Amino acid sequence: MTPYSSMRPSRGEIRWIAILLVLALVVLVSSAFFGSYRVSLADFFNTVRGQAPAPMTEFFVLERRLSRAAVALCAGMLLAASGSLTQQLLRNPLASPDIIGITTGASFGGAMVILLLGGSLASASFGAVAGAIMAALILIGAVKVLRLSGSRLILLGVGLAALATALTNFLLTQVFVPSAEVAQTWLVGSLQGRGKEELVWLLAGVAILLITQIMFGIDLKMLQMGDDLAAGLGVQVTRTRLVLLFIAALLAALAVVSCGPIGFISLVAPHISFALTKSRNLISCGLTGGILLAVSDLVAQYAFSVSLPVGVITVVFGGGFFLWLLFRQRRIHG
């Protein structure tokens, strides 16, 4: 047995990935049957096969419900994988992209394009990616130049997040009302109206996620054992950490591009995934996040008398989880 044998995906990891894939498919299919427009099981299968009984059925099943659920699954995957990467790299269970400034950097970049340049939600995509990468570069610079790590690096990220939020709020007060309304709608974090166009960005992100797990999965497991041991096994520790932090920022940005900043999925999903699978595999973590966001969106749409932005549901759930994590960390460390 080589030193790497125990670091390959175990049967348990593969089994959980299969289970989560089935659950994701169940959530995706189930989404087609929610709503005031009723769809029978026969109508669903006929529509999926291209033989819809009516144009309205095809519209609701394919364009409205399945597309939106697919966006939720993919966006949740990217947010969860991004959160898993940042938590592993910074070795802190609270180090998610929305806490350390990456998500808020993307929000600020996208809002700036909308508010100052008069751009649409589509053009805001480039600003969001640029903002997330800029936040990641600041964190990378802090690692390389200031030698910050651990809790100090997280505190820097929290400061970045607060600064980006303040600048975004300032911009919202300085522009014409129509542009502010467009930006505010996007900044809430919603899946309303999302569909095939957003899936292009998200599927690109899912491809990056899969490639990252294939190329860096073993390196990530080595880094969990400590930098010295990882370096002894041939991992270029600093370079690997920086590359993976950049990838985490990119994954978070692609999710924000598509749905706006949806809070706490990147914080909560890695913990739920690890509790279930006892593994930090990015694919199983991503699937957990996708299922969590898709189910949250169904709750936001149908559990109340009015439809809510999914970000409201995730913040309520995630905020409570965040407080529990803080309490747990305090008990562990005294």
Contact 316, 50 (CB under 8 A): no
Mapping DSSP to helix (H, G, I), strand (E, B) and coil, where does residue 156 land? helix
Q: Which domain holds residue 263?
A: 5-333
Contact 43, 57 (CB under 8 A): yes
**In whole angstroms, what is the distance from residue 66 CA to residue 196 CA?**
10
d(CA 205, CA 211): 10
CB 35 within 8 A of CB 246: no
DSSP label at residue 59: I
CATH number at residue 29: 1.10.3470.10
What is the number of domains present in the chain? Answer: 1
- pLDDT (tens place) for every residue of the chain, 334 residues total: 344 445 566 787 889 999 999 999 999 999 988 888 888 888 888 888 888 888 888 888 888 899 999 999 999 999 999 999 999 988 888 888 988 889 999 989 988 888 777 666 667 778 888 899 888 888 878 877 777 766 787 788 889 889 988 988 888 887 766 667 777 777 877 888 787 888 988 999 999 999 999 999 989 988 888 878 888 888 888 889 889 988 999 999 999 988 888 888 999 999 999 988 888 899 999 999 999 999 999 999 998 888 888 888 888 887 787 788 777 766 665 5
